[in-house]
Structures are given as structure tokens and as C-alpha cells.
Amino acid sequence: MTGAPWLDSPIKRAIDIAVAGAALVIVSPLMAAVALLVRSRLGSPVLFRETRAGRDGTPIDVIKFRSMSEARDTAGERLPDAERLGRFGRVLRASSLDELPKFISVVRGDMSLIGPRPLPMAYVDRYDSTQRRRLVATPGLTGWAQVHGRNTLDWPSRLAHDVWYVDHASFRLDLRIVALTVRVLLGRGGVSADGHVTMPAFLGNDSPREQSR
């Protein structure tokens, strides 16, 4: 499977390294402040690590600031996500401050500034042949789907936006996505689907229903 030539351009990679590296330096005081707030509000660990599908479905470690508590019920089981995500966590997610550590993944090459968002490894085998083409691109901090509804999109629409980006990626399109991302962040919309902390899990194209994650 192949995508637009821009996806493999050394210029795109150079931009990723330069911008992400500069961002880590510039926002380091902010990251330190967020880390302290997470530590004081939610305790440790400060960072949340999860394995996601990278380019070609290769596993990558995604790092974020933790936004949910470790609250458990009387049996010692973690409470549902909706009950562990308090006001502080919602602010982190709405502002995307929890995403700041991902600049490290961009510098490492696991992620790009622009591309389909990295999704759980379990989803890889659930894609149809067209949806699987989203894996041609290095996953990004933001992308075409994120500026067209974020987590309010249904799965077919979201994955279709990702595939469209793979086919049409260019420097000009990336600049447009950056501009639209700023607008989305300022509006703080699309953070979660109705009735979910983020959005329903993708269970496959033939599943009669989706369950929350």
C-alpha cells in the first residue's frame, strides 16, 4: 500500500523534528507546571503510557499526561472512565495539554505532527481493506479527522477522513490542518462523543453496536 509522496518526504520529517524539538524547549515550563498539577491532583504516576498502532501497524508507545484518577470500588476494581475523569481531567483533555508529551514521540519518529491519530492495536485487524490504508501514514498529533469533528465523528467517517489524508497529503494540506487545529483547540469542541468519555470503541464494520472504552 502506498500513499501520497509527501508522507515519505524528508522535508516532512525535517519539519517534524524542527517543530517538535522547538516546541519541547518552548513549552517545557508549561509541561513542568502540568506535571506538578497532575501530581498534586491525581497523584502518581504523572504520565500515562499505552501501546498504539504506528505506521504499518507497528506497535508504538504513546505518552500523555494522566487525566483520570485511580479510583476503585470496594472490590478493588477501577471505576468506569466517566467516574474517574473529573473536572481537572476534562480541562486537560479539552485544552489538549495532556497531549504535550507526544512531542517526544514526534522527535523519536514514532509519530508525526500531522497524520491519522494512533489507535489501539486491537483495531488493526478490524479494519477493512480500505480503512487499513490509514496505516500507510505515520500517526500524527492532529489530522484531517481531528479538524472535522474529533471524537464526535462516527467510526466510518473518522476512518474515511484518515484514508483521504493518506491519498491527498501535501505540505499545503498540512499547513491547512495546522490552522484548522488552532481553531478547534480554541473552540474546545469535539472532545467526546455523546455519552462517552472519548468515543465508542471500534469493534469492526459488521458489529451491530459499539461499546464504550
Per-residue pLDDT of the chain in tens (213 residues, 90 and over written 9): 788 999 999 999 999 999 999 999 999 999 999 999 999 999 999 999 999 999 999 999 999 999 998 888 777 788 888 788 889 998 998 888 999 999 999 999 999 999 999 999 999 999 999 999 999 999 999 999 999 987 788 899 999 999 999 999 999 999 999 999 998 888 765 554 444 456 788 999 865 444 333
pLDDT at residue 210, as a whole number: 43
Domain extents in the chain: 5-187
- Which residue from 83, 113, 82 is spatially nearest to 175, judged by alpha carbons? 113
Task: Report the distance separating Cα 160 and Cα 64, nearest Å.
Answer: 26
pLDDT at residue 79, as a whole number: 84
pTM: 0.86
pLDDT at residue 212, as a whole number: 35
- Which residue from 64, 192, 202 is spatially nearest to 132, judged by alpha carbons? 202
pLDDT at residue 40, as a whole number: 95
- What confidence tens digit (pLDDT) does each residue in 64-99 have? 999 998 888 777 788 888 788 889 998 998 888 999
